[in-house]
Amino acid sequence: MRQVTVQPRLPSFLPHQNPRPKETFLGKTMKFLILSDIHGNREALEAVLKDAGGQYHRIVCLGDIVGYGADPNFVVDWARSQVSAIVRGNHDAACAGLESLSRFNDNAADAAMWSRHVLTRKNLAYLKALPAGPVFHEGFDLAHGSPFGEYDYMCSTPDVAIISHRITTPLTFFGHTHDQGGFQIKRNGKINVIDPRVPTRLALAPRSRYLVNPGSVGQPRDRNPDAAYAIYSPAECRIEFRRVEYDAKAAGKKIVKAGLPERLALRLLVGV
Ligand code: ZN
Protein backbone atom coordinates (compact mmCIF):
# COMPACT_ATOMS: atom_id res chain seq x y z
CA MET A 1 0.00 0.00 0.00
CA ARG A 2 1.22 3.46 -0.81
CA GLN A 3 2.36 5.40 2.20
CA VAL A 4 1.14 8.95 2.46
CA THR A 5 3.34 11.27 4.43
CA VAL A 6 1.47 13.99 6.19
CA GLN A 7 3.53 17.08 6.85
CA PRO A 8 3.03 18.41 10.37
CA ARG A 9 1.07 21.61 10.11
CA LEU A 10 2.80 24.53 11.67
CA PRO A 11 0.62 27.23 13.14
CA SER A 12 0.29 30.15 10.81
CA PHE A 13 -1.39 33.48 10.49
CA LEU A 14 -4.51 32.50 8.56
CA PRO A 15 -7.09 35.24 8.15
CA HIS A 16 -9.96 32.97 9.15
CA GLN A 17 -8.03 31.95 12.26
CA ASN A 18 -7.03 35.49 13.04
CA PRO A 19 -8.10 35.87 16.62
CA ARG A 20 -10.46 38.77 16.31
CA PRO A 21 -10.67 40.86 19.43
CA LYS A 22 -13.69 39.73 21.39
CA GLU A 23 -14.23 43.10 22.92
CA THR A 24 -14.79 46.43 21.33
CA PHE A 25 -14.25 49.85 22.71
CA LEU A 26 -17.01 52.37 22.00
CA GLY A 27 -18.04 50.28 19.01
CA LYS A 28 -14.53 50.13 17.47
CA THR A 29 -12.40 47.01 17.23
CA MET A 30 -9.56 46.79 19.70
CA LYS A 31 -6.16 48.31 18.95
CA PHE A 32 -3.09 47.71 21.07
CA LEU A 33 -0.23 49.99 21.98
CA ILE A 34 2.85 47.76 22.07
CA LEU A 35 5.69 49.05 24.27
CA SER A 36 9.02 47.56 25.27
CA ASP A 37 12.22 48.48 27.11
CA ILE A 38 11.04 51.72 28.70
CA HIS A 39 13.98 51.51 31.13
CA GLY A 40 12.87 54.17 33.59
CA ASN A 41 12.79 56.90 30.94
CA ARG A 42 9.87 59.14 31.88
CA GLU A 43 10.43 61.69 29.11
CA ALA A 44 10.37 59.03 26.38
CA LEU A 45 7.31 57.30 27.84
CA GLU A 46 5.34 60.53 28.10
CA ALA A 47 6.23 61.47 24.50
CA VAL A 48 5.05 58.07 23.24
CA LEU A 49 1.77 58.24 25.16
CA LYS A 50 1.11 61.73 23.79
CA ASP A 51 2.01 60.72 20.22
CA ALA A 52 -0.18 57.60 20.33
CA GLY A 53 -3.03 59.27 22.24
CA GLY A 54 -6.48 58.24 21.03
CA GLN A 55 -5.15 55.57 18.65
CA TYR A 56 -5.31 52.50 20.91
CA HIS A 57 -7.51 50.89 23.53
CA ARG A 58 -5.11 48.75 25.52
CA ILE A 59 -1.42 48.85 26.40
CA VAL A 60 0.82 45.80 26.50
CA CYS A 61 4.42 45.85 27.64
CA LEU A 62 7.28 43.48 26.81
CA GLY A 63 9.43 44.06 29.88
CA ASP A 64 12.44 46.05 31.06
CA ILE A 65 10.36 48.86 32.45
CA VAL A 66 13.28 49.78 34.75
CA GLY A 67 17.09 49.82 34.64
CA TYR A 68 19.31 52.51 33.03
CA GLY A 69 16.89 55.45 33.42
CA ALA A 70 16.43 57.84 36.34
CA ASP A 71 12.66 57.50 36.84
CA PRO A 72 12.00 53.86 37.73
CA ASN A 73 9.25 54.67 40.25
CA PHE A 74 7.39 56.88 37.80
CA VAL A 75 7.39 54.14 35.16
CA VAL A 76 6.40 51.34 37.56
CA ASP A 77 3.60 53.47 39.06
CA TRP A 78 2.35 54.07 35.51
CA ALA A 79 2.60 50.38 34.56
CA ARG A 80 0.74 49.26 37.66
CA SER A 81 -2.30 51.30 36.70
CA GLN A 82 -2.21 51.46 32.91
CA VAL A 83 -0.89 48.24 31.40
CA SER A 84 -3.31 45.43 30.61
CA ALA A 85 -0.63 42.75 30.05
CA ILE A 86 3.09 42.70 30.76
CA VAL A 87 6.02 40.28 30.96
CA ARG A 88 9.19 40.52 33.01
CA GLY A 89 12.42 41.65 31.40
CA ASN A 90 15.92 40.70 32.54
CA HIS A 91 16.46 44.20 34.01
CA ASP A 92 13.16 43.97 35.92
CA ALA A 93 14.32 40.68 37.41
CA ALA A 94 17.75 42.09 38.29
CA CYS A 95 16.39 45.31 39.81
CA ALA A 96 13.92 43.25 41.86
CA GLY A 97 16.77 41.12 43.21
CA LEU A 98 15.55 37.96 41.47
CA GLU A 99 18.70 37.59 39.37
CA SER A 100 22.37 38.04 40.06
CA LEU A 101 24.07 40.87 38.18
CA SER A 102 26.76 38.57 36.82
CA ARG A 103 25.37 38.69 33.27
CA PHE A 104 25.34 42.51 33.25
CA ASN A 105 28.10 44.85 32.15
CA ASP A 106 29.29 47.42 34.71
CA ASN A 107 26.96 50.22 33.59
CA ALA A 108 23.90 47.98 33.59
CA ALA A 109 24.84 46.51 36.98
CA ASP A 110 25.37 50.00 38.51
CA ALA A 111 21.98 51.12 37.20
CA ALA A 112 20.27 47.97 38.48
CA MET A 113 21.74 48.42 41.96
CA TRP A 114 20.74 52.09 42.00
CA SER A 115 17.19 51.25 40.85
CA ARG A 116 16.86 48.53 43.49
CA HIS A 117 17.83 51.11 46.09
CA VAL A 118 15.39 53.85 45.03
CA LEU A 119 12.35 51.72 44.11
CA THR A 120 9.53 51.81 46.65
CA ARG A 121 8.62 48.57 48.41
CA LYS A 122 5.34 48.45 46.53
CA ASN A 123 7.09 48.84 43.18
CA LEU A 124 9.74 46.25 44.04
CA ALA A 125 6.94 43.83 44.94
CA TYR A 126 5.25 44.56 41.58
CA LEU A 127 8.49 43.82 39.69
CA LYS A 128 9.03 40.61 41.66
CA ALA A 129 5.55 39.41 40.77
CA LEU A 130 5.80 40.08 37.02
CA PRO A 131 5.29 36.92 34.95
CA ALA A 132 8.18 35.58 32.90
CA GLY A 133 7.07 35.34 29.27
CA PRO A 134 5.61 34.15 27.13
CA VAL A 135 2.19 35.42 28.12
CA PHE A 136 -0.71 34.78 25.76
CA HIS A 137 -2.96 37.82 25.58
CA GLU A 138 -5.90 38.58 23.26
CA GLY A 139 -4.67 36.21 20.55
CA PHE A 140 -0.93 36.97 20.57
CA ASP A 141 2.14 36.19 22.66
CA LEU A 142 4.26 38.61 24.65
CA ALA A 143 7.89 37.77 25.39
CA HIS A 144 10.94 39.74 26.43
CA GLY A 145 13.94 38.04 24.78
CA SER A 146 12.36 35.11 22.98
CA PRO A 147 9.41 32.84 23.81
CA PHE A 148 12.00 30.54 25.41
CA GLY A 149 13.96 32.92 27.63
CA GLU A 150 14.11 36.53 28.73
CA TYR A 151 17.87 36.68 28.10
CA ASP A 152 17.70 35.31 24.52
CA TYR A 153 18.56 37.75 21.77
CA MET A 154 16.70 37.46 18.48
CA CYS A 155 18.91 39.74 16.40
CA SER A 156 19.31 37.86 13.14
CA THR A 157 17.76 35.17 10.95
CA PRO A 158 20.17 32.48 12.30
CA ASP A 159 18.95 33.33 15.85
CA VAL A 160 15.36 32.79 14.70
CA ALA A 161 16.12 29.72 12.55
CA ILE A 162 17.23 27.81 15.66
CA ILE A 163 13.85 28.23 17.36
CA SER A 164 11.40 28.84 14.50
CA HIS A 165 10.04 25.27 14.48
CA ARG A 166 9.12 25.61 18.17
CA ILE A 167 7.12 28.80 17.80
CA THR A 168 3.45 27.89 18.10
CA THR A 169 1.76 31.28 18.00
CA PRO A 170 1.10 33.16 14.76
CA LEU A 171 2.15 36.47 16.30
CA THR A 172 4.67 37.09 19.06
CA PHE A 173 5.79 40.52 20.21
CA PHE A 174 9.26 40.66 21.74
CA GLY A 175 11.83 43.20 22.92
CA HIS A 176 15.28 43.04 24.54
CA THR A 177 17.35 43.94 21.46
CA HIS A 178 16.09 47.55 21.45
CA ASP A 179 15.93 47.23 17.68
CA GLN A 180 12.62 47.96 15.95
CA GLY A 181 11.51 45.40 13.34
CA GLY A 182 11.45 41.63 13.62
CA PHE A 183 10.99 38.53 11.50
CA GLN A 184 8.45 36.84 9.25
CA ILE A 185 8.60 33.04 9.20
CA LYS A 186 6.99 31.97 5.94
CA ARG A 187 5.07 28.75 5.47
CA ASN A 188 8.06 27.12 3.74
CA GLY A 189 10.28 28.02 6.70
CA LYS A 190 12.03 30.92 4.98
CA ILE A 191 12.72 33.78 7.36
CA ASN A 192 12.45 37.39 6.24
CA VAL A 193 13.78 40.32 8.22
CA ILE A 194 11.15 43.00 8.81
CA ASP A 195 12.60 46.43 8.19
CA PRO A 196 10.31 48.89 9.98
CA ARG A 197 11.22 51.66 7.52
CA VAL A 198 10.08 49.67 4.46
CA PRO A 199 7.18 50.03 4.94
CA THR A 200 6.26 51.62 8.26
CA ARG A 201 3.01 49.69 8.16
CA LEU A 202 3.36 45.92 8.17
CA ALA A 203 0.49 43.95 6.65
CA LEU A 204 0.43 40.49 8.24
CA ALA A 205 0.43 37.95 5.43
CA PRO A 206 -1.62 34.75 5.59
CA ARG A 207 0.18 31.53 6.46
CA SER A 208 3.15 33.22 8.06
CA ARG A 209 4.23 33.48 11.65
CA TYR A 210 5.61 36.75 12.96
CA LEU A 211 8.07 37.84 15.62
CA VAL A 212 7.68 41.59 15.96
CA ASN A 213 9.78 44.01 18.00
CA PRO A 214 8.25 47.46 18.60
CA GLY A 215 11.69 48.83 19.47
CA SER A 216 12.70 50.47 22.72
CA VAL A 217 10.80 53.37 24.22
CA GLY A 218 13.52 54.45 26.62
CA GLN A 219 16.87 53.46 25.11
CA PRO A 220 16.74 52.85 21.33
CA ARG A 221 19.88 51.20 19.92
CA ASP A 222 19.12 51.20 16.20
CA ARG A 223 20.96 54.47 15.54
CA ASN A 224 17.74 56.43 15.79
CA PRO A 225 17.43 58.20 19.18
CA ASP A 226 13.65 58.73 18.83
CA ALA A 227 11.46 56.66 21.15
CA ALA A 228 10.10 53.57 19.37
CA TYR A 229 6.74 51.82 19.68
CA ALA A 230 4.11 50.01 17.64
CA ILE A 231 0.34 49.92 17.26
CA TYR A 232 -1.29 46.60 16.43
CA SER A 233 -4.70 46.39 14.81
CA PRO A 234 -5.86 42.72 14.77
CA ALA A 235 -9.00 43.52 12.75
CA GLU A 236 -6.90 45.03 9.96
CA CYS A 237 -4.06 42.44 10.34
CA ARG A 238 -1.71 45.39 10.53
CA ILE A 239 1.15 46.62 12.69
CA GLU A 240 2.35 50.20 12.49
CA PHE A 241 5.90 51.01 13.56
CA ARG A 242 6.23 54.48 15.03
CA ARG A 243 8.98 56.84 16.26
CA VAL A 244 8.67 60.04 18.23
CA GLU A 245 11.23 62.62 19.22
CA TYR A 246 11.49 63.33 22.94
CA ASP A 247 13.64 65.37 25.30
CA ALA A 248 16.57 62.95 25.54
CA LYS A 249 18.78 65.71 26.96
CA ALA A 250 16.45 66.13 29.95
CA ALA A 251 16.35 62.36 30.52
CA GLY A 252 20.17 62.26 30.27
CA LYS A 253 20.63 65.14 32.72
CA LYS A 254 18.59 63.24 35.31
CA ILE A 255 20.76 60.15 34.78
CA VAL A 256 23.93 62.15 35.45
CA LYS A 257 22.34 63.94 38.43
CA ALA A 258 21.41 60.59 39.94
CA GLY A 259 25.09 59.61 39.84
CA LEU A 260 24.56 56.94 37.19
CA PRO A 261 27.23 56.33 34.51
CA GLU A 262 27.45 59.23 32.03
CA ARG A 263 27.54 56.77 29.13
CA LEU A 264 23.89 55.92 29.88
CA ALA A 265 23.00 59.57 29.28
CA LEU A 266 25.14 60.03 26.17
CA ARG A 267 23.82 56.96 24.37
CA LEU A 268 20.27 58.37 24.51
CA LEU A 269 21.37 61.26 22.29
CA VAL A 270 22.56 59.02 19.47
CA GLY A 271 20.42 55.89 19.82
CA VAL A 272 23.12 53.27 20.32
ZN1 ZN B 1 16.16 46.30 27.67
Residue 178 inside a domain? The answer is: yes
* 3-class secondary-structure state, position 171: strand
Residue 3 inside a domain? The answer is: no
At 15 the pLDDT is 40
Domain total of the chain:
1
Residue 143 inside a domain? The answer is: yes
Residue 5 inside a domain? The answer is: no
* CA 64–ligand 1 middle distance (angstroms): 5
* CA 37–ligand 1 middle distance (angstroms): 5
What CATH number has the domain bearing residue 192? 3.60.21.10
Residue 163 inside a domain? The answer is: yes
* 21-30 contact pairs (CB < 8 A, 24+): 21/138, 21/139, 21/234, 21/235, 22/138, 25/57, 28/57, 29/233, 29/234, 29/235, 30/57, 30/58, 30/138, 30/234, 30/235
* CA 90–ligand 1 middle distance (angstroms): 7
* CA 83–ligand 1 middle distance (angstroms): 18
pLDDT at residue 256 above 90?
yes
Residue 6 inside a domain? The answer is: no
Question: What pLDDT, in 10s, does the model give residues 27-41?
Answer: 558 999 999 999 999
Give the model's confidence band at 20: pLDDT under 50 very low, under 70 low, under 90 confident, else very high: very low
pLDDT at residue 190 above 90?
yes
* 3-class secondary-structure state, position 137: strand
Residue 170 inside a domain? The answer is: yes
* CA 61–ligand 1 middle distance (angstroms): 12
* CA 235–ligand 1 middle distance (angstroms): 29
Question: What pLDDT, in 10s, does the model give residues 99-140?
Answer: 889 889 999 999 999 999 999 999 999 999 999 989 999 999
Quick check: pTM over 0.75?
yes
* CA 68–ligand 1 middle distance (angstroms): 9
At 28 the pLDDT is 53
Containing structural domain, residue 253: 15-19+31-270
Residue 2 inside a domain? The answer is: no
